[in-house]
Amino acid sequence: MDLADFQNEIYLSGLGGAVPDLPTDLHRLEELAAARLTPQAHGYVAGAAGAERTADANLAAFDQWRIVPRMLRDVAERDFSTTVLGTEMPAPVIIGPVGVLRILHPDGELAVARAAKALGVTVTLSTAASTTLEEVAAEAGPRWYQLYWPKDRELAASLVHRAAEAGYTALVVTLDTFAMAWRPRDLDRAYLPFLRGIGVQNYWSDPVFQKAVGGPVTDANRDLALLHWVANFGNPSLTWDDLAWLRRQWDGPIVLKGIQHVDDARRAVDAGMDGIVVSNHGGRQVDGAIASLDALPAIASEVGALTTVLFDSGIRSGADVAKALALGAKAVLIGRPYAYGLGLAGEDGVRHVLRSLMAELDLTLALAGRSTLADVGPDLLSRRP
Ligand code: FNR
């Protein structure tokens, strides 16, 4: 299947009077989500830390770069497929880890896994998923597991061993969220899904967790389980030295998510990590922090030849993906757009988002004169005048 086939499908369906159920400009999903989702669910996804300046900066940073199209370069045959950390991908686009998806749709992570599998797209399942990692694995295609590294070492080991057992092939360790940041939209509604029992499913199903709370979680020990979750969720005392322990628990590739400084990227390489995600968690953690895209070029030039550099925070279009690739990312992770797609139209909505993004990427690169990822480098872009 050509990535741009989606465009033809849409126009052809139009001959029978059909138009897409969701907007094809993915920026517009958010306004639709604001109108249709519950205020709590919309606020949880759209919201960010503090005054949301970093979330805004993430988007604005893309506008500082402009694509410079080249002509007459035979782009009739195109191939933007790639292999990242041993995983084959139809395009350098990955479903990033977003927790608690059942606040958006009853099928939650399962709907996302099904939509991604049908397109051969890799999913990264969050530790904070509202469906257990084993249940998702049963329905998913290519899959990676994202670890929130808990305080209890035995629990951390159990989570990653379960993920390996369930066929997740890469471990994405999120470093920037050992505590929830100050997030006014959620605070003003006193809304944290975990305390309502959504997003704790990987913990509650874990044998080590269950042992600590006296057995499987029922009404009788539910409060204790929630307290144990709160006490264990994040581990602010971790240091670079702890990565050696994690390496011993996991045989496959390990990727550190949340890198924004060149020196941290360097330390990830020195610690023997296989990749990094240049990410600021969509501006959800440190308000006032730099835009993630602004961190990318220097990091990619420092470690791009030594490790796999991935990117997220602010991808909303195929052009955005092209820009991140040109600035040194090997692939990008998608966050809010697919969450909105899920909330608005379930599995179909996620498929719509993925197909739109990949079709727009293909057309953008073709029209800019590129036919493979090897042709996508810094010369694709110019800084905005
Ligand atoms: C996230 N993100 C996230 N990251 C992670 O490692 N584990 C998680 O459980 C979550 N959960 C989560 C929930 C919601 C509602 C959002 C919006 C984000 C961060 C995510 O992986 C990614 O870094 C950001 O979504 C990127 O920003 P944009 O492009 O979505 O704005």
pLDDT at 313: 99
Rounded CA gap, 198 and 128, in Å?
Answer: 8
Provide mean pLDDT across the span 300-320.
98
Band the pLDDT of 272: cuts 50, 70, 90.
Answer: very high
Tell whether ligand 1 has an atom less than 6 A from the beta carbon of residue 102: no
Global pTM value: 0.99
Is residue 10 scored above 70 in pLDDT?
yes
Please write the tens of the pLDDT for every residue from 31-56.
999 999 999 999 999 999 999 999 99
The single residue of 42, 105, 228, 281 carrying the catalytic annotation is 281
Nearest to 200 by CA among 115, 288, 100: 100
- Per-residue pLDDT tens digits for 194-213: 999 999 999 999 999 999 99
Closest CA to 225 of 189, 258, 257, 199: 199
The pick from 98, 147, 256, 350 for probing ligand 1's pocket by mutation, whose C-beta has the most ligand atoms within 8 angstroms, reads 98
Distance between CA atoms of 321 and 354, rounded to whole angstroms? 12
Confidence of residue 381 (pLDDT cuts 50, 70, 90): very high
Q: How far is the CA of 333 from the centre of ligand 1 (A)?
A: 9
User: How many percent of the chain have pLDDT more than 90?
Assistant: 99
Partners of 82 in beta bridges: 89
Q: Give the nearest ligand 1 atom to 257 CA.
A: 6
Whether 281 lines ligand 1, by a CB cut-off of 6 Å, is yes
Choice from 198, 336, 357 to test ligand 1 binding pocket (greatest atom count within 8 A of CB): 336
Nearest CA to ligand 1 atom 11: 98
CA 334–ligand 1 middle distance (angstroms): 8
The end-to-end CA distance of the chain, in Å, is: 38
d(CA 270, CA 379): 30
- The predicted structure's pLDDT at residue 1: 63
281 is catalytic: yes
